[in-house]
Structure 1
Amino acid sequence: MRRRTLLSSLTALTAAALVLTGCGAKAKDDPSPAGGAWSYTAGDGKTYTADKTPKRIIAHAYAAKALMEFGIKPVGIYADGKVGADVGLKGVDFTGVTILGEEWGKIDAEKAVTLAPDLIVADWWPVEKVYSGQEEGVEDSAKKLAELADVVGPAQGDSIVGVIEGYAKLAESLGADPSVIAAARGKFEEAKTRFQAATAAKPNLTALAIGPYDNTYAIAVPKYAPELLDFQKWGLKVIDPQKPDPEFPYWESLSFENADKYQPDVLLFDDRNHPGNQEKLAAQPIAKSIKAYAAGAMTTWPAYWLHTYSDYTAQLDRLTAFIQGADENIGD
């Protein structure tokens, strides 16, 4: 269970990639810009510069959504699943944008060559030390995308706000209107204030973020889920599971027989797989032993996809209303 490998011959692709790479931005380990017309310090710690501001951008779908909120539209995107079914891409108009892949680890790199990109944009994942779309396990041909132009983007860290701000900074460097960014940021700050007021009124409310699937009761580890870390910082007591999986510490995986190990006041289901994951738990005899489930104290959490101020504003307001109606004594 992840947070969330084309063609047999790549001779022509490799040749084209080498030509296009020479036209792209240049990375420098030294964080000081070298006087280029465009510069951006990415999540990998490198500063990228170019003589001209990049215009032809290929982006991971979530990164594309972030840029588009600020008026920067890519020429191509690649997604981890079907664009129309992805909860994190609802409402995005990708008309005129070439879709290069709708399955994790698969990117049509030959089609990407025809787009002549001068920049690739995606999240940097510090745990894996790689950008989205270049992780271990993706198809070799998908990795050829990084040969077409430099890959940049903000790092996932201990706050979604940091990721969004990283994209705002990148968008501004690419020509976004600062006033549009400021307006979106202001609405978000108001929503955050409302969320904090709701949690302050329920200081003992505990929550468990879960993603039941197959034969596993998966519990999210806030350390690797920046939205959950934000909720903790803003007053919601999201439970930290005791024994994260050694090989993939984003989760603690329990058998359903042990699913009542933690007794929170509310359950937060991974919204990427909802309602299927809630139905999975409902089918288990143990469900009635989980007090929050028995009480119907359940909602969803925005799992790993938040990249824009508008989405975060909407999610915080939804959760604020839920918290205001929650009982902080269920898990006792």
Structure 2
Amino acid sequence: MSHIRSRHRSRGVLPGAGLTSGGLTRRGLLGAGGALALGALISACGGESGNGSGSGGGAWTFTDDRGTKVGVKARPERVVGYVGTAAALYDFGVDRQLVGVFGPTRLRVGRPDPQAGNLPVDRLEVIGNAFGEFNIEKYAALRPDLLVDNMFIQNELFYVPAESKDKIFALAPSAAIAAGAVALPRPIERTAALAAALGADLKSAKVTAAKARFDKAAEAVRAAAEANAGLKVLAASTSPDLFYASSPGKNTDLIYLKELGVDLIVPDKVGQDGYFEELSWENAGKYKADVIMLDSRTQALQPKDLGSKPSWKDLPAVKAGQVVPWQPEPRFSYEGGAPILEALATSIKSAKKTG
């Protein structure tokens, strides 16, 4: 994960993902709604659990996206997770089992980081709030039954420091959700499968309503892209020294948007992991975009920070006032994904071509 780590340290975009899921067709996926359809999706994704109850009455297993069959004596009751993974599980109904998180959880002013979603941050132990921070002593003290995380690069758990991963993995089994080179619905489905294995009720009104909203939002993006055909969109992030052009061949949400018909610009010189192309600020205008989706996370520079960059002001999308927030690391739940799609559909529908 060295490439991603260096990107994070330079305050740039972190990875997303790519391909369509399993044998499910795009239309079939978008048209599936309600509890029965959601249950079918989970089964198709291969999530599994043993006969354990919430009180730990039997063996528990889950096959994660490394192909690892995680097995413990009883359903995990004390779960620690990367903040984005934990937030998505919480949206699906996993609550009391969550005891600790790591990754961007609290802002400097003390409020929850947007990546924490709806998590009850105040009752969770934060064992690391930034990249490279993972307090093993605090983690051990939580007596974890399971570590959950997203995986943007195969077999590398996000925000788990490579130099101490062996010590961390020795304390509890781990389950990873693939979030690189898969389209947005796939990690949502897999997170739902893990949530169900942990005892969440995917037939609840909250979850089925969120899925219906997500499906409706996806169709709104498709309709907006069709109505405004030819509109060029670039996903990007910025740091003091570099402008990052992100690839819809790797980032999970971008691949899905491309499937929905959004005309996303494809950088031609992406780095070794395939997520983005690094451009000097002098070359920030290499790709002519009508709309720029700009990384809105706390570690990335925002439009208010870019006033000193003449090349930023000269970009056609900036001149046209067509810069919209982008979350390169979406929360992998229907509840987390729906507002993102809704906002983008609105932006695409109202945007004007600049050329």
* Partner SS for 1:101: coil
Amino acid across the alignment from 1:262: Y
CA change 1:233–1:112 in 2 (3 A) is same
| Fraction of identical pairs, as percent | 26
CA change 1:274–1:264 in 2 (3 A) is farther
CA change 1:52–1:210 in 2 (3 A) is same
TM-score (norm 1): 0.82
What's the counterpart of residue 284 of structure 2? 259
CA contact (8 A) 1:131 1:151 kept: no
Alignment pair present for 1:160 and 2:184: yes
Q: How does 1:127-138 map to 2 (within 5 A)?
A: 127=154, 129-136=155-162
Distance of 1:304 and 1:131 partners within structure 2: 14
Distance of 2:299 and 2:130 partners within structure 1: 19
What's the counterpart of residue 23 of structure 1? none
CA change 1:70–1:90 in 2 (3 A) is closer
What's the counterpart of residue 250 of structure 1? 275
CA change 1:81–1:33 in 2 (3 A) is closer
CA contact (8 A) 2:64 2:70 kept: yes
What's the counterpart of residue 72 of structure 2? 50
Alignment pair present for 1:204 and 2:230: yes
Q: How does 1:1-332 map to 2 (within 5 A)?
A: 1-2=7-8, 3-4=13-14, 37-73=59-95, 74-80=98-104, 82=106, 84=111, 86-127=113-154, 129-136=155-162, 140=164, 144-156=167-179, 157-180=181-204, 181-246=207-272, 248-273=273-298, 276-327=301-352, 329-330=353-354, 332=355
Cα distance, 1:182 vs structure 2: 3.0
Amino acid across the alignment from 1:207: V
Distance of 1:154 and 1:288 partners within structure 2: 39
User: What do the CA deviations read for 1:42-77 (whole angstroms, capped 9, x no partner)?
Assistant: 011122223311111111111111111122121111
Cα distance, 1:178 vs structure 2: 2.1
CA change 1:135–1:244 in 2 (3 A) is farther
CA contact (8 A) 1:33 1:49 kept: no
* Partner SS for 1:268: strand
How many pairs align?
Answer: 299
Off by >6 Å, runs of 4+ in structure 1: 31-36
Structure ID, larger Rg: 1
* Partner SS for 1:177: coil
What's the counterpart of residue 7 of structure 1? none
Distance of 1:94 and 1:284 partners within structure 2: 36
Distance of 1:110 and 1:274 partners within structure 2: 26
User: What do the CA deviations read for 1:253-303 (whole angstroms, capped 9, x no partner)?
Assistant: 111111111111111111114883323443222234321211111111111
Higher relative contact order (CA 8 A, sep 6+): 2
Distance of 1:67 and 1:113 partners within structure 2: 22
CA change 1:189–1:32 in 2 (3 A) is closer
TM-score (norm 2): 0.77
